[in-house]
Chains A and B, each alone.
Chain A
């Protein structure tokens, strides 16, 4: 059942790798990592902290504080590497697992968690951070990404040679989404209109319980050739390679060179979400195999071997992670309950008379259960329960 998902071993010619699982730098003829060791320390910090956010969110879900959580465990390098490759003016369309990319965009983890707690559908302003809301319907956002990139073209933000102006769109999706019509339509649009769209496919091997072999008979990056643009497979557990490949693809897109499909070959080490049980559909030895490729361990090995970090760095980072986890926990528990009456105002720019009538009815009806007037102002009637 799991045979074949080990796939693409290190050293396979079509897998771009710049840092081996043992933590040794290596060369690739087409891609080079062009940042310094300080940047690698920063990447390591990013990965440790996002892994900690993830762990805390899983704990919160297990304790009944979140309805569900989609873990990024194992995909930190793919997300931090690609997320750190974007420029401020680029725009990102994520799926619902891009917590590391959100981190790179400066989105407070609590804004992600509020979605999974059931407080809102995404607590950040996409225009502030150039990071769209999480999209739950698989692959739907890839079309939005293409359309947004078409807008960039029309705005004259492609191929001007001005690094402050030229922009691209980075669209995330998974191996399961690669089977969706919308993703394939997005490929067609991006190709024929030559839009500045970079596709970042995180192939974590499993679409809930369906293995990659159930999505495709060929390596996913090769799909791009059929649509007429380049595809490249990168070691998704290698943060340096993920960064270098994404940076190159984004630059090509900004320059007017059109779309690229990047397949980050990685592995989801946890469940698809907290509602499924991977032991039902995959074997432990597969997980053990991938643990040897852990995206954090290899960076730590590199940094340690080259004396770029010391115990003080790691200890400080631990403290920082603890503080972040505490922030996540306290912030989650302090989130006010959403006010249903307030949500009526967000359906339309111009509210309909019928909806206004329903809103007024609901307010009065709800207030009738709280004669003290506690909820009559549209406040948070149940907030005291969770505090």
Chain B
């Protein structure tokens, strides 16, 4: 076991994926000599060469579009999108080309590729650097969407995504890049399947559903609630498409109360999908309406206002109080 930051875990995971399969290539802006703006690809070009760690021109549609061609040729590209807000120039290539290639070819063509996107706010960045675009991609048939929340998951999930024959949007919680945890890089296989949610804290009074950067915030909220005698469960969804809700349903049936938490704006967000599915599946077990905590339906605010925009302990606990009040 080694204590690694989430960024270094990703780096180690990418390195191992490249060692395991010579067809894996990484492409993106500034990923070579610089090692990426978050240094996630640090040292990889030096060790694997410029043909496998490709510094690209500065054009996101080009990054994803050429990766499709490489995938059609039998390679396994990993695209780095530098920031969440820069993925939109590649939107057509992702939702109309990557997502549909298998379908439109009647299953004959595969584009096994990973599109890594640092997402979410909380780092004091300028505009377009703090967005949460996950719902756009989770809404797109043909894509799979995952979000890692911890260094251990970052290390294993990136390798699992590279090995997947389906295209995967891989969301990295940028505000957690430099948080450390123990990671077993010596293990021979991943401790958890890729498209599976995890109960990261058991509880009896209500359940918090989160992914990516909000998992840690929810665990802190649960800790604070425990000091007031409330016993909250926390689920790290990990996979946003497909959703893995069987463990969630079990908790809902036990607690009857649910709060969903994400940074993305509320309307049409993942929380809405979760609330609907839980209502359809567990209606008679619910003691209160599912409550959503999320960003507001505004564009992401200037950084000095983001603390008020992003869900924090108080907003999560306020929602918990509301569902417990029924």
Contact = CB atoms under 8 A, between A and B. Distances in A.
Q: Are these two chains actual partners, yes or no?
A: yes
Interface residues of A, number: 44
Contacts of A181: 59, 61, 89
Given A147-B73, A154-B51, A346 B103 contact: yes
Interface in B38-97: 51, 56-57, 59, 61-62, 64-75, 77, 89, 92-93, 96-97
Interface string A131-143: 0110101001011
B103 A347 contact: yes
B102 A347 contact: yes
B97 A349 contact: no
A181 B64 CA distance: 13
Interface centre among B62, B165, B166 (most CB of A within 10 A): B62
A343 B89 CA distance: 29
A146 interface: yes
Interface string B99-110: 010111111111
Given A121-B103, A345-B107, A185 B141 contact: no
B310 to A, nearest CB: 29
A186 interface: yes
A355 B151 CA distance: 30
B105 A147 contact: no
Contacts of B74: 151
Given A121-B104, A343-B103, A347-B103, A154 B75 contact: yes
B13 interface: no
Given A140-B93, A185-B61, A348-B142, A148 B69 contact: yes
A345 B105 CA distance: 12
Interface string A342-377: 010111111011110000000000000000000000
Nearest to A352: B242
Interface string A259-279: 000000000000000000000
Contacts of A253: none
Nearest to B64: A143
A182 B73 contact: no
B55 to A, nearest CB: 10
Contact of B57 (A126, A137, A189): A189
B286 interface: no
B92 A137 contact: yes
Contacts of B69: 143-151
Contact of A148 (B72, B141, B242): B72
B102 A126 contact: no
B243 interface: yes
A378 to B, nearest CB: 15
Interface centre among A133, A150, A155 (most CB of B within 10 A): A150
A262 to B, nearest CB: 19
Interface string A107-147: 00000000000001111011100001101010010111111
B116 interface: no
Contacts of A185: 57, 59, 61-62, 65
B8 interface: no
A186 B62 contact: yes
9 closest cross-chain pairs (CB), A and B? A147-B69, A143-B65, A151-B73, A147-B66, A352-B242, A349-B165, A121-B104, A185-B62, A148-B69
13 contacts: A121-B104, A126-B105, A142-B65, A143-B66, A146-B65, A147-B68, A181-B61, A185-B62, A189-B62, A346-B107, A347-B142, A352-B144, A355-B242
